[in-house]
């Protein structure tokens, strides 16, 4: 299970637990609603913080992946140029060896 899914599950579980606890507590409706509102605001702030952290991590991973892709693309281009040069030299050497023997 990924860390992100675990974190989301933990937050949802905590929220459900808080709501269940508040609803079963022996308080008046007014007190219960006030407490729910406070806890909902805290949960909303925590969810926003978690979402921001996830977005930052995703941006960081995306940037890293892009840099790695550029690095490998440049390396592949370099390898292609090297192989082309080597094959051209091999062909020239073969031609020279062929014509020198005649």
CA proximity to 90, closest of 30, 82, 46: 82
d(CA 96, CA 93): 5
Q: Can you give the residue ranges of every domain in the chain? A: 3-101
Tokens 């952290």 found at: 53
Give whole-number Cα distances, 64 to 37, 51, 53, 75, in Å: 40, 20, 16, 16
pLDDT value at position 95? Answer: 84
Q: What is the pLDDT of residues 30-55, one digit of tens each?
A: 887 888 889 889 988 988 998 999 99
Does position 29 have pLDDT exceeding 80, yes or no?
no
Predicted confidence (pLDDT) per residue in 67-86, tens digit:
999 999 999 999 999 999 99
pLDDT tens, 52-72? 999 999 999 999 999 999 999
Confidence of residue 102 (pLDDT cuts 50, 70, 90): low
SS3 1: coil
């Amino acid at each position: 299970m990924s860390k992100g899914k675990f974190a989301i599950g933990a937050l949802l579980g905590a929220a459900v637990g808080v709501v269940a606890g508040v609803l079963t507590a022996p308080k008046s409706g007014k007190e219960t609603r006030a407490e729910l509102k406070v806890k909902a605001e805290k949960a909303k702030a925590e969810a926003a913080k978690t979402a921001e952290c996830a977005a930052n991590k995703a941006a960081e991973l995306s940037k890293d992946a892009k840099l790695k892709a550029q690095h490998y693309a440049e390396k592949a281009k370099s390898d292609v140029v090297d192989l082309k040069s080597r094959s051209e030299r091999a062909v020239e050497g073969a031609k020279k060896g062929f014509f020198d023997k005649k």
